[in-house]
Structure 1
Amino acid sequence: MKLEIPDNKRLVHQAVFPMRWGDMDAMGHVNNTIYFRYLEIVRVDWLNSVNAAPNPAGEGPVIVNTFCNFYKQLEYPGEVLAKHYVSNPGRSSFDCWITLERTDRPGEICAAGGATTVWMDFPAQKSAPLPDWLRRLIDG
């Protein structure tokens, strides 16, 4: 079953990075846990690019759930193209959607996943409203 990324999503970031030999497992393909690392790489890249990295003394994003659907094996060597989408801004949360494909097979999705991200007030240890500037980025 293919992951259905909602129509109201917005592409906000792309990243290309190499698969490493050490990413593989005994079966000769990238280990399933590494896919989550790939999702993290592109999500954190985007957050840093929009100055939304977590600030332990202030506010920032946290992940409250994450998931990944696997469609085709990734095998070393090669490069991964990760496309990061956002959607569904709520009072304090939004959804991230990420597709992973090989750069030498454009358009062939090998995995797709994402996360629900909540904006937090870290000193208070509770959710906080999404900043207006972030909501505008998500809404487009």
Structure 2
Amino acid sequence: MKIEIPEQKKLVLETRWPVRWGDMDAMGHVNNAMYFRYMETARIEWMTSVGCNPDPQGEGPVIVNAFCNFYRQLAYPDEVLIKMYLSDPGRTTFETWTTMERANEPGVICAAGGATVIWVDFPKQKAAALPQWLRELASV
């Protein structure tokens, strides 16, 4: 199955990771929980690359919703090509989208998911306005 990411989403990260033997389950394919780990790792890699290092005494991102759809199995020793996109910057939130495909089969999506990210004032434990730099990064 081939899935196209709509144009209103902005590609912000493309990276590759090897599937580790321990990522698989008893059925011999990557366990579904690992796809969420792959998406989390991509979000963290992107956030640190743009200088977003959450400070528990300041502000930063919090995931409030995450999902993943599974289309094809990944297994050891696959190499996963991960693409992360941003969209829909709001007052306090933005969306992340991630596709995962085998590096040796570009364009064939094995899984696709995403997350709603809210910007939080950690000491106050409440939503805060997205910083302008982040709003600009998430805008198409």
Gaps of 5+ in 1: none
Shift of 1:7: 3.1
CA RMSD in angstroms, aligned pairs only? 1.6
The equivalent of 2:115 in structure 1 is 115
Shift of 1:53: 2.5
The equivalent of 2:39 in structure 1 is 39
Shift of 1:3: 7.2
Tell me, yes or no, if structure 1 residue 100 matches structure 2 residue 61: no
CA contact (8 A) 1:2 1:69 kept: no
SS at match of 2:14: strand
Q: Distance in 1 between matches of 2:66 and 2:2?
A: 16
SS at match of 1:137: helix
The equivalent of 1:77 in structure 2 is 77
CA contact (8 A) 2:17 2:81 kept: yes
Shift of 1:94: 0.2
- After superposition, residues 1-140 of structure 1 pair within 5 angstroms as 5-140=5-140
CA contact (8 A) 2:2 2:109 kept: no
Gaps of 5+ in 2: none
Kindly provide the amino acid, as one letter, of the partner of residue 95 in structure 2.
D
4+ long deviations beyond 2 Å = 1-7
Q: Distance in 1 between matches of 2:81 and 2:4?
A: 19
